Copies of this chain bind each other. A is one copy, B any other.
Amino acid sequence: MLIGEVARLSGLSKDGIRHYEQLGLIGSTPRRAGTRTYRDYDASVLPAIERVKQAQHLGLSLAEIMPLLQAFGNHQLSDAETIVFLEERLTAMRGRIADLSEIARFIEAKLEAYRAGRGADHARKFCRASSKMADR
């Protein structure tokens, strides 16, 4: 199976597929043709891509997924470890949801105020504090 078909079947772009391959998330057997070499994929690449996508949904970066897939592939993760992992992912996900919910509530409040007819404080529309630091 050439890359175009994998793209069609997986919904991942050709560039994306080559990117995954470069990161070692999926593999192909090189098929020589004249001076060129084409990537030849077998059907197992499709579930592999799905696994990567699923892991991405869990909020993991491709770099984090790489060793994880190996662990799963080698059955090196016990059920207990898997549960811990999933709990951790769930907590992270809930944290992100909470953050976004807070912002949503903030917008709702602003909207309330505007609908109530108070629209004069343009200058103070976006004002609150934050924290962070860096630069070496």
Please report A residues at the B interface, Cβ cutoff 8 Å: 7-8, 11-15, 47, 50-51, 53-55, 57-59, 72, 75, 77, 79, 82-83, 86-87, 89-90, 93-94, 96-97, 100-101, 103-104, 106-108, 110-111, 114-115, 117, 119, 122-123, 125-135
Task: Specify the main secondary structure of chain A where it touches its partner.
Answer: helix
Stoichiometry, as copies per complex, reads 2
Inter-chain contact B57/A103, CB cutoff 8 Å: yes
Given A51-B127, A57-B103, 13 extra CB contacts under 8 A? A12-B132, A13-B134, A47-B123, A50-B126, A50-B128, A54-B127, A55-B126, A58-B103, A72-B125, A79-B114, A83-B115, A87-B111, A90-B107
A123–B51 CA distance with the chains assembled, in angstroms: 9
Q: How far is the CA of A104 from the CA of B11 in the complex (A)?
A: 23
In whole angstroms, how far apart are the Cα atoms of A119 and B82 in the complex? 9
Query: Which residues of B sit under 8 angstroms from A93, Cβ to Cβ?
Result: 100, 103-104, 107
- Tell me whether A54 and B104 are in contact (CB under 8 A): no
Known contacts A107-B58, A122-B75; A53 and B11 CB within 8 A of each other: no
Q: Which residues of B contact A58 (CB under 8 A)?
A: 103, 107
